[in-house]
Amino acid sequence: MFTGDDSLKVLASVIPAALCLVIWKLWNMHNYNLRDRTCSLPLPPGSMGLPLIGESLNFVLMGADFYRNRLKSYGSVSKTNILGHPTILVLGAKNVRKILMGETSLVASYWPQNIRTLMGEGTVSHSEGPVHKKRRKSIGKAFNHAAMSSYLVESQDIFRYYIKRWCSQAAVLGFSECKKLSLRFACHVLIGFKVSEKEVEELIELYTVFADGLFSIPLNIPGLGFHKGMIAREKLMMKIGEFLDRRKDWDGVPDALTYMMKLSEEELTRTELKEVVMELLFTGHVTSGSAACSLLFFLGKNKEVLDHIVDELRQHNIDGDEGKITLEEIGKLKYVSNVVKEVIRIAPPVGGGFRKALKTFVLDGYQIPKGWTVAFSIREAQENSNSFPDGDKFIPDRWDALTTEREIFFPFGAGRRMCVGKELGKLMLKCFVVELAINCRWDLLNEYPVFEEMPVPRPIDGLPVVFFSIRKLGT
């Protein structure tokens, strides 16, 4: 027989389980009711995860593997709940391109609140409509032919400085050094800040904490990544304010900041201007630093590719002894261009993004309800496209036979939100390849590093490398 105490014990064990079941059912009902009832098509398959937090922990901890696992489990379109929002995950080149090209018609630019808070509302990427168009146009003026020629000259000075320094050391961490190189490039070329090596290292440290906060659980609690990111943001804004105060008027070809400062006289507050600078520095060095590190890795592991680059430079009489390389010379280097495209195909610096559905539309026979977040993966689309046999392998020659590049290759995005500085980004990487081939050779101390892929591809061990200089091309 059960005593009163036994009954209480049973109740104590049953009630929590019953409450969990009720909460689970209410959670599933809530998510089901978010579907568009005017559309007869079903929601995509998938899992909405745990109540309230959804699958946010898996998304943050698994990174790019989260998308890969979803593709295996549910296909190219699936539903989930991440970072506090019901979300449709979109995979596959055709679907991703539809989202990228659907700006203002199907979707609108959207980033989770923690990313918006850290980046700030004044950034170009978070602006909308006419404001976004005006700011993009203003920055775009800094990427005409005269400006790009000027940037190329300064880029070569920066690259040669770092390559010479690397060759004088026993070993360097490739990822760390590429971030420093790219940040100095962004400071000098994009916004006209002349910064010391100490300031570069301080900015790198702050941006590392800041970047980690972008893809953390959005809880502003001391000790957590988001809170650390907010502290880093405050320090970055202070440093940028100091740089702006000491920046002199440009003399010669204006940079991106010069055009934005002219625009600030019309509509940008000082806080918004600082946020734009913070965004330019962030996107200009985190993504470029990742791509430059990937170049070191793939060329270091595939020596025959570097030999092919050297042959192409010889064919065009480019050996570095005649002074600075010109835009016209860079434009003739087809194989170098193939190498850069293959690097950012297999390891795109920006692996994906977010949008918000403006209306209910259809993908692969499923409804994408109005108001839901849409998350897409550029990395998966470029790796698994049928146009790229052995998509996980580094094969620069594959680009000679491709005729549908626009449909399957979008490392800089596509449509109205395409990266405004994409041509400068590609030019920087091509110039980096040429300077490496002309001035040095290197050995990877670990040919099989493990890469993390969020927020950008980066080797966990930092990519230790030994550099040594060469006197002449090909020796």
pLDDT tens, residue by residue, 363-412: 999 999 999 999 998 888 888 777 788 888 999 999 988 877 777 888 88
Q: What is residue 275's predicted lDDT score, i.e. its pLDDT? A: 83
Residue 122 pLDDT: 65
Beta strands in 267-418 (DSSP E): 352-357, 361-363, 366-368, 373-377
Q: Is residue 474 part of a domain?
A: no
Q: Is residue 135 part of a domain?
A: yes
Q: Are 139 and 261 in contact (CB under 8 A)?
A: no
- Is there a domain that residue 410 lies in? yes
Q: Categorize the per-residue pLDDT at 21 as very low, low, confident or very high, splitting at 50, 70 and 90.
A: low
CATH of the domain at 331: 1.10.630.10
Extract the tokens encoding 321: 């002894």
Lowest mean pLDDT among 37-41, 175-179, 219-223, 460-464: 219-223
In a domain, 10, yes or no: no
Is the pLDDT at 58 greater than 90? The verdict is no
In a domain, 449, yes or no: yes
Residue 293 lies in a domain: yes
Q: Is residue 317 part of a domain?
A: yes
Range of the domain at 355: 34-469
What domain count does the chain have?
1
Average pLDDT over residues 276-299: 89
Nearest Cα to 428, choosing from 334, 319, 295? Answer: 295
pLDDT at 51: 74
In this structure, the number of other CB atoms found within 10 A of the CB of residue 194 comes to: 12
Helical packing angle, 270-282 and 197-214, nearest 10°: 90
Residue the block writes with tokens 């390849």: 433
Query: pLDDT (tens digit, 9 = 90+) per residue, 406-458?
Result: 778 888 888 877 877 888 889 999 999 999 999 999 999 998 999 888 778 89
Q: How many CB atoms lie within 10 A of CB 242?
A: 11
Q: Looking at the domain assignment, is residue 287 inside a domain?
A: yes
d(CA 402, CA 369): 35
pLDDT for 431: 92
